[in-house]
Amino acid sequence: MTVSFFKSLEARVAEVDSLLCVGLDPHSQDLPEQTAQHAWAFCKRIIDQTLPFAAAYKPNAAFFEALGPEGFEVLGKVIASIPDGVPVILDAKRGDIASTARAYATAALETLGADAITLNAYMGIDAVSPFIESPAKGAFVLCKTSNPSAEDLQLYGQGTAGRALFEEVAALAEGWNQNDNVGLVVGATQVEALRRVRAAAPGLWILAPGVGHQGGNLEAALEAGLRADGLGVLVPVSRGISRADNPGEAARTLRDQINAARQKVQGRPVHDALDALADALVDIGCIRFGSFTLKSGLESPIYIDLRRLITAPGVLAQVAAAYLPLMRSLEFDRLAALPYAALPIGTAVSLQSGWPMIFPRREAKGYGTRKLIEGEPVVGETIVVVDDLATTGGSKLEAIEKLQGADLKVTDIVVLIDRQSGAQQAMAKVGCTLHAVFTLRGLLERWERTGRVSAQQVQAVREFLEAHG
């Protein structure tokens, strides 16, 4: 079985206890003469001295290409000199389609032998797919850069009901990451953007240039970008190492500084994409506090209405992204979204992931096809049910019965919020497992930690759950 690019990267990170990516940028001012041979000597010295501390290397194609055919030859020689097991990310920022993209992929990943490449995905998945067909080869997609004119395009859409364009890129990349080999490029100087990208793409690795010469705050960048497992951010440094008197010692110091900041960040609550989503659900009115009469007749201090997600497409996309890690751990052929609240959620999940969707109707139409299951399932397929909430599980049992009546297998149900009112036990009785992004008690803990909901509101809901949960 082929090991994915990011599994290989994580193995190297563990081996050297480092998130440092050493840049190999033979600037003309760093070479005694502008020749390919001097570029080779420059890079070889850095590699030899920094190898014990580098999680990966990142040669910048432009500086080699500027040296002509000999420079391209030296680039291949530099990549070949890096030992197996140490990922090489070619900083080339390619961005084309069709046969041109495939030729670029062949040049970078086969002819030169790089393990990954940076890409410009302005033309969509067509510009990315040739580079990620093999799980062993990776791509880092440009998302939010630090150059002054980046705002001309990357912030488009900010301030509307949707998200900024760079956040849409992040969400798309999360969906493209079917083979665990797609990451993002976000400048370390863009701390708020890092937070928002982590919210839009909870599971992706981020290449975060800008620490050192560009003035990025290492601790702030890691706090904003690290995943909950302490991974997910690769810190590239070029001039801070290459222009040091002792590149090896500079790399060691940077590795240790990154680890110290990483440890400090992990010692307190790391910014979590799910925290941001939990707060967003309150912000757009999906979660309300007060006094509400439920269908059962009980008076509740909390009301959950996820149908409101359709009025906030940015948050809907965050919701869909939160389902993806859970669903990737399951085996299924299609997802089935339950009417009505889960239909937009299921559609968003399908768009981000590429998984086909069906849905069971509440009742068959008395005209037309008279189908009870909309879509084109194949007899014998395994279906994962997607819904918004789980309370007692009654509506899910009805849907499961309809799907099984169409000769489909159902073993898993995924919801955004489990109210912990018996649904998990009800599903287990029919051989199904309930998976939830959030539990209601877990949400209360998040809101209490982030201060988004008052202590009095949290306590009122806890007391209600104790009495009626």
Q: What is the CATH number of the domain that holds 428?
A: 3.40.50.2020
> Which two tokens mark 121?
């995905």
Q: Of 329, 322, 219, give the one whose Cα is nearest residue 266.
A: 219
Length of the chain equals: 469
Cis peptide before 340 (omega within 30 of 0): yes
> Which two tokens mark 440?
């209601």
Q: What are phi and psi of 142, to 5 degrees?
A: -60, 130
For residue 183, what pLDDT is reported? 97
347 and 286 belong to one structural domain: yes
Domain edge (last residue) among 266, 283, 316: 266
**Structural domain that includes position 293:** 273-468
402 and 256 belong to one structural domain: no
Region 450-468: what's the mean pLDDT?
Answer: 87
How confident is the model over 373-400, as pLDDT tens digits?
898 889 999 999 999 998 887 888 888 9
Mean pLDDT of the chain: 89
420 and 381 belong to one structural domain: yes
49 and 127 belong to one structural domain: yes
Supply the angle between the helices 440-450 and 455-468 in degrees, to the nearest 10: 170
- Whether the full predicted model's pTM is greater than 0.85, yes or no, is no
Q: Is the pLDDT of residue 117 over 60?
A: yes
Q: Is the pLDDT of residue 214 over 80?
A: no
Greatest mean pLDDT range, 20-29, 150-159, 297-306, 355-364: 20-29
Residues known to be catalytic: 93
**SS3 state at 169:** helix
Distance CA 322, CA 202 (A): 7
107 and 211 belong to one structural domain: yes
286 and 146 belong to one structural domain: no
For residue 361, what pLDDT is reported? 85
207 beta partners? 185, 234
Domain edge (last residue) among 215, 244, 266: 266
Long-range contact pairs involving 5-8 (C-beta distance under 8 Å, separation at least 24)? 5/87, 5/115, 5/116, 5/135, 5/136, 5/137, 5/138, 5/180, 5/181, 6/138, 6/180, 6/181, 6/183, 6/205, 7/180, 8/85, 8/87, 8/115, 8/136
238 and 143 belong to one structural domain: yes
135 and 247 belong to one structural domain: yes
CATH code for the domain in which residue 50 is found = 3.20.20.70
CB-based contact 131:118 (threshold 8 Å) = no
Total count of domains within the chain:
2
Region 182-204: what's the mean pLDDT?
Answer: 88
Residue matched to tokens 């994580």: 10
For residue 367, what pLDDT is reported? 61
Region 361-370: what's the mean pLDDT?
Answer: 66
128 and 83 belong to one structural domain: yes
User: Which range (6-20, 208-222, 280-294) has the least confidence?
Assistant: 208-222
Q: Is the pLDDT of residue 369 over 60?
A: no
Q: Is the pLDDT of residue 269 over 60?
A: no
How confident is the model over 274-331, as pLDDT tens digits?
788 888 899 899 999 999 987 767 888 999 999 999 988 888 988 988 898 888 878 8
CB-side exposure of 390: number of CA atoms within 13 Å? 29
For residue 160, what pLDDT is reported? 44
Distance CA 377, CA 290 (A): 43
Distance CA 434, CA 113 (A): 44
For residue 161, what pLDDT is reported? 42
For residue 202, what pLDDT is reported? 81
Domain edge (last residue) among 245, 266, 287: 266
Q: Is the pLDDT of residue 146 over 90?
A: no
For residue 128, what pLDDT is reported? 97
261 and 306 belong to one structural domain: no
253 and 296 belong to one structural domain: no
277 and 262 belong to one structural domain: no
CB-based contact 284:310 (threshold 8 Å) = no
Band (pLDDT 50/70/90 cuts) for residue 270 is: very low
Scored b (16 or more CB within 10 A) or e, 87-115 reads bbbbbbbbbbeeeebeebbebbbeebebb
CA–CA distances in Å: residue 114 to residues 300, 330, 404: 58, 32, 48
Q: Of 278, 289, 290, 366, give the one whose Cα is nearest residue 319.
A: 278
